[in-house]
Structure 1
């Protein structure tokens, strides 16, 4: 198999420091999705597959799922992805640290979401205007993040979803024994960490909501962690997508 093929399968080593940063961002995604689904929704702001289905079910008026939140999140995510793609490609062309720049923008949007939702009480179903405003800010941030993660391209660590990581983990395990997914290599560890990181973030967010934290109180530490990751990246060599 070619070198590029092995890289796509995630069977080649990646700098541990970069893997660690992507793991931390995956935890943040789990936390944000806990806020989105349990406190603002039902809606997702990173995993847009769910919103496509929520929108379809809402338009069919089945399942008591409002279509407005899903449509807003999809539109805001798309806007964030467009902004992120243009921003980071231009930044890289000029020799700037595009990864850090994307994360700074994400952190700013999360801070704005924390400010807008500081006194917003978590609500599941029938979101009000403040809930929709925070949803739009989070979805925009996650659109930028998804572009950033895809440009970084750490195999098995997309940071905003874990379906592919889980499938590859199972396929490369002693049960799957599929060499196409890197059976017999150490790639399984990175994939397992991605799944556990998303779980940990979601669990932590749900527990904090249960403890009475407001939307803003949950988003403030999320923004701080993303900003810390952006600053930590400055100690690493610059990334090039070419």
Structure 2
């Protein structure tokens, strides 16, 4: 337990000169954003995820099998938008900059614009969305989350993927002391799962109270906070930025 708490502390209050610098808590914030955005997309856009592509593949299969309440078009659009966003993130990571702070800063700025555009559209539309509004929101958010996922993958901070928790939760159990493991990194893994949970909980509560678009507005605020935290490091030469 002490080791788990120490690991969690190191994620929330990292060593500025450590291997990953301030990235871990910033990635936790992005994980909260993922929970908010996926809650909005599933509950306000009709059974479609814009960050969890595993779910979309399953939903696509459901709809092709004739299950009601799922949309082939929505699932495909989300998958394609996410892939295009990931392609853009990959180009940014491989061809524009390999400086980790500038990389995440640039990606977060673009993501903020996309989510802000989605919020503006959602705020003036009737939700749950239908028709062209629904498809536009799926495309904007899919692009945003695909880009985030590509950049976070490039940053390669262990157990902080911001979008996929299956392996993270598996690691908590499989590497635990009862399983014969060392129990290492349980703190960061549990924090990652908690961040996703809290984001999804807040998003679902907002949708349930008729304030669905606020989930996107809060996401924008969190993304701006991440960008602001990265600004002082854009010219840093510390080891973690390489």
Match of 1:220 in 2: 217
**2:168 alignment partner in structure 1:** 165
1:63: how far off?
4.0
Corresponding residue of 2:9:
none
Could you list the runs of 5+ residues in structure 1 that have no partner in the other structure? Answer: 1-12
| Residue 19 (str. 1) matches residue 17 (str. 2) | no
Task: Report the alpha carbon displacement of residue 211 of structure 1 after superposing the two structures with TM.
Answer: 1.6
| CA contact 1:121–1:214 (8 Å) conserved in 2 | no
In structure 1, what is the equivalent of residue 138 of structure 2? 135
SS at match of 2:108: helix
Q: After TM superposition, give the deviation of residue 119 of structure 1 in Å.
A: 2.4
Could you list the per-position Cα deviations for residues 78-97 of structure 1 after superposition, in whole angstroms to 9, with x for gaps in the alignment? 11111111123222159981
Q: Give the drift of 1:17.
A: 2.6
* 1:39–1:123 contact (8 Å) kept in structure 2: yes
Provide the C-alpha distance between the structure 2 equivalents of 1:114 and 1:64, rounded to a whole number of angstroms. 24
CA distance in 2, matches of 1:147, 1:93: 13
2:94 corresponds to which of 78, 89, 94? 89
1:118 & 1:62 partners in 2: Cα distance?
Answer: 30
Return the alpha-carbon distance in structure 1 between the equivalents of residues 143 and 173 of structure 2. Answer: 32
Give the secondary structure class of the aligned counterpart of 2:66: coil
Alignment counterpart, residue 189 of structure 1, candidates 184, 187, 190: 187
Provide the C-alpha distance between the structure 2 equivalents of 1:123 and 1:94, rounded to a whole number of angstroms: 40
Tell me, yes or no, if structure 1 residue 232 matches structure 2 residue 229.
yes
Q: How does 1:63-102 map to 2 (within 5 A)?
A: 63-92=68-97, 97-102=102-107
Give distance in 2, aligned partners of 1:90 and 1:173.
39
- Equivalent residue for 1:202? 200
C-alpha displacement of 1:157: 0.6
| Structure 2 portions without partners, runs of 5+ | 1-17
2:101 and 2:241 in contact (8 A); partners too? no
How far 1:71 sits from its partner (Å)? 0.6
Is 2:60 aligned against 1:55? Answer: yes
In structure 2, distance between residues paired with 1:71 and 1:40: 14
Identify the range of structure 1 (165-174 vs 31-40) with the bigger mean alpha-carbon deviation. 165-174
Say what the alpha-carbon RMSD is for the aligned residues: 2.1
Per the TM alignment, residue 206 of structure 1 is displaced from its structure 2 partner at its CA by 0.6
Aligned length: 221
State TM-score, norm by structure 1.
0.84
Task: Give the Å deviation of 1:227.
Answer: 1.9
Alpha-carbon contact 2:20-2:157 (below 8 Å) kept? no
Alignment CA distance shift 1:155-1:94 (3 Å): closer
